Structure 1
Amino acid sequence: MKTEPLDPPGPSRPSAPPTTGPARLLRRVRAAAPVGGAPRVAPRPVIDASWQRVRRIGIDPDRGTSSALLPAGELEHRRRTTALGDLLPSLSQGLVSAVRASQQMMVVTDEEGLVLWRDGDRAVMRSAASVCLEEGAAWSEDTAGTNGIGTALELRRPVQVHSAEHFVRTLHSWTCAAAPVHDPRNGRLLGVVDVSGADSTFHPATLALVESVARLAEAELRERHLRSVERLRSVAAPVLCRVGGRALAVDSHGWLAAVTGMPPVDRLPLPKTFRAGRMWLPSLGMCGVEPLPGGWLVRVEEAASGPQEGAVSRVVLDLSSRRRSSVTVSGAAGRWTHELSPRHAELLYVLSVHRQGRSAAELAADLFGDRTRTVTVRAEMSRLRRHLAQVLAHRPYRFVDEVEVEVVHPDHPTDLLTHSTAPAITAARVRAPG
């Protein structure tokens, strides 16, 4: 039976639910989906894809959303160690008064979907306790099915989930809009800010409001980071004046504060296990690393300014996690692991499939469906090659022939880079068996 979309996807509001039609229509759509029925009206693509994911996980739509709450000590530890704690006043200032006035609540989670804070209308928060939307509860898709928090974490973009679009039936009387918050210093996902309330409080502007507050919080974190780099620069400048040869001062995320004896770079890619001592970095070779207040002094060892030819022999692209991707480079010079941004994960996957190489225009078509977006592709590849100078060649862009490349796929092929809408990635999911 032919179906008609509730809300045809478009560039202006790709993840907002329909603003017309009663909730009972959504419930008919939702009722037909688990049994393979063909309703007259199809769910939005973002919701349909989420339903498929949670069905594969084995979420029961008739179960509740209760989960074991974090112990008080663990909850407090997560609050202290996340950058979201510093941003909480900004998030609250932007949202709490609005959600109280509209009889809703604000929820802030970490990158695993664990609720760290909530605030808003008291009656709504009491009602939320009945579905376990409270501090210390887990709201990832793995735990609670399709919902604003969990689905925004999966897709790494703002999502609004309304009424029966929730997979678990006990949530059908709720509406929620959530936006992820990323750390501008390293691109990592910090968590999600969400507004939830009764389905009768739904408003199409809520998603835009939540997204705006999330972006303002990221801007505040970026401004704080710039100030910390300036402080490190004031400490590092006199140190570098006494250092011979090539050296850099970088913060804990690799952002450059000062440099001597070599061209400046915006950021030095650092491995996960960066520490004082001797360490091989793909972009510089063997280096000596010393701590500085607020960062590191990195001295390039001139006698071994780079790894020997053939030192890099293997690359492992790990795409098995639905939330994080990484690349590990290993060989005679050592082993180095780097966490990838979503865009860089897409690029490396495409290059792993096309070992013969891709032009900038071909990569633009692969990522954006538009061969003219070569400026964006070249900029991203330039950033990526700073991390993987010994591994990636250009003209065309490709992995060098001497390197063995292994891709670690997710357990289910259609979970490949779930956040991605790149044509090459969506085509790979379609081609996947099953």
Structure 2
Amino acid sequence: MQRDDLHDRRVRAVRAWTRFVAQGDDEDDAVRPEILSSWQLSGVVSPDVTHAPLADEGDTADFWNASPLQTAVERVQDELRRTAEDGDLVIAVTDDQTRILWTYGGRVMRRKAETVNFVPGGRWDERSVGTNALAIAGRTAAPSMVFSAEHYAEVVHNWVCWAAPVFDPVTGRSLGVIDLSTTWDRTHPIGLATARVMARLIEGALPTDRRTPFAGDVGPDEPGLVLTLLGTAEVWFDGQRLLLNRRQTEILALLALHPSGLSVEHLHALLYGDAAVTTSTLKAEVSHLRTALSGQLSSRPYRLTMPVTSDVEEVQRLLRRGDVRRAVRAYGGDLLPGTESPALVQMGDYLAVSVREALLNDPDPDAVLRYSELAPYDTAVVEACLAAIPVHHPVAPLLKGKLASAR
């Protein structure tokens, strides 16, 4: 396109955006329907937002390392990088929640991208940063282009973006999107076609030796939500593993512990305590979860609307029945180790003390041996068991060895 034509198009886009933001005019014929629909969804964020929110760096890296997208991108990264450098583009690959997992940019666009958190961990869904091609392509599962002031956030009005969804050929599931972005004056008709080609390139490079979107994941058979929260964190929904960040897993844990639901204020207090975190950050996390759970997370109050089971619930149930051996077998360790949620820290302490006290009252040798692997320095439980069992009990030498190594 000629620069004058692009400039005229940009002016029209800015005028339409201004009318929508300032006057709420949502009947402008100059605005494409998919853009207008996205603007309406973007009303939860300010058009003055200066950058995308960032997800936890460690969670993003863990997700990327476990995703088949990483293998695919590594296999075709030379071509992706060549495309970025030749066109002075920044290329991004996201997960299915529009969180950026990988980027590569030409010299100019890389610097521009960094200023708005168009980097790994950046959240580019509409509820986080407003209308953009990544968000539309991810939500609609169709290629998308967003030009200049068609973006809801004014900070990226100088950009043009083309995005296409990436599907898993094995399952048909959307894995995320690939996006190509540059400055508005470099708009080219071939941009969207290039994004489609890049998406097909990644799909063709995905590893084929897997039965699910994440290699080796074989989920529980029961429907609904299954949470493993003790020792390690795993979330399964209708038999499929969800790779969530720490905060999202913590939110699910809190909602599972409060089946009647929580107000946004109560959930915020349980999750963040006195930390200076806005409720809009919490709402964004809940929005991601609602999408991942196919809408089965209600509002006012926040409540899970599908069957939920967890190892926390199972341990408590077995302790109430007095089945200490099975309770310890179900107890995988600390509740979400490293969590800073005051409510989850408190529940973790409560559960750890409950298991320990149950063992002191009923020091089943097999249960104590298992427990000593989880709490190797808790000598009191091992000593109580040795005092209660015969000297020649087959587990006694193992427990004595545990005791010696702990001292």
Q: 153, 157, 180: which one pairs with 2:165?
A: 180
- Is the CA contact 2:49–2:129 (under 8 Å) kept in the aligned structure 1? no
**Higher helix fraction (1 or 2):** 2
Q: TM-score, normalised by structure 2?
A: 0.50
- Tell me the TM-score normalised to structure 1 length: 0.47
CA contact (8 A) 1:253 1:270 kept: no
Q: Corresponding residue for 1:389?
A: none
Alignment match, 1:78: 63
Deviation at 1:326, TM superposition (A): 8.2
Shift of 1:167: 0.4
The structural deviation recorded for 1:70 is 2.4
- Specify the alignment match of 1:46 in structure 2: 34
- In structure 2, the residue matched to 1:61 is 47
Q: Deviations over 1:168-213 (max 9, x none)?
A: 1111001111111122222322111111111112112111111122
| Correspondence for 1:128 | 113
Conservation of the 8 A alpha-carbon contact between 1:66 and 1:132: yes
Residues 129-155 of structure 1: CA deviation (Å, up to 9, x unaligned)? 111211221111110100111121111
1:370-416: CA deviation from partner (whole Å, max 9, x where unpaired) = xxxxxxxxxxxxxxxxxxxxxxxxxxxxxxxxxxxxxxxxxxxxxxx
Amino acid at match of 2:78: Q
Percent identity of equivalent pairs? 29
Q: Which residue of 1 aligns with 2:336?
A: none
- After TM superposition, the structure 1 = structure 2 runs for residues 82-93 of structure 1, keeping only pairs within 5 Å, are 82-93=67-78
Structure 1: which 5+ runs fail to align?
1-17, 227-250, 255-268, 274-319, 328-334, 338-434
Q: Please state if 1:205 is matched with 2:190.
A: yes
1:323 to 1:212, Cα distance in 2 relative to 1, 3 A: farther
Task: Give the corresponding residue for 2:9.
Answer: 22
Q: As a proportion of its length, which structure holds more strand?
A: 1
Return closer, same or farther for 1:54/1:221 CA change in 2, 3 Å cut-off: same
Which residue does 2:294 correspond to in 1? 325
CA pair 155-125 structure 1, distance change in 2 beyond 3 A: same
Distance 1:326 1:30, change over 3 A: closer
> Which AA in structure 1 matches 2:42?
V
Aligned equivalent of 1:194:
179
1:292-333 deviations in whole A, cap 9, x for unaligned?
xxxxxxxxxxxxxxxxxxxxxxxxxxxx94466389xxxxxx
Structure ID, larger Rg: 2
Equivalent residues of 1:26, 1:163 under 8 A apart: yes
SS in structure 1 opposite 2:206?
helix
Q: Which structure 2 residues correspond to residues 13-412 of structure 1 after superposition, within 5 A?
A: 21-34=8-21, 35-37=23-25, 41-55=29-43, 57=44, 59-71=45-57, 73-221=58-206, 223-225=208-210, 321-322=290-291, 325=294
Q: 1:27 & 1:193 partners in 2: Cα distance?
A: 26
Q: CA deviation at 1:32?
A: 0.8
1:104-147 alpha-carbon deviations (Å, 9 max, x no partner):
11111112222211112022111111112112211111101001
Cα shift readout 1:235-276 (whole Å, capped 9, x = no counterpart): xxxxxxxxxxxxxxxx9679xxxxxxxxxxxxxx99686xxx
Look up the equivalent residue of 1:158 and give its one-letter code.
P
SS at match of 1:22: helix
Residues 69-128 of structure 1 show CA distances to partners (whole Å, capped at 9, x for unaligned) of 523x22321111111111113442343212211111111111222221111202211111
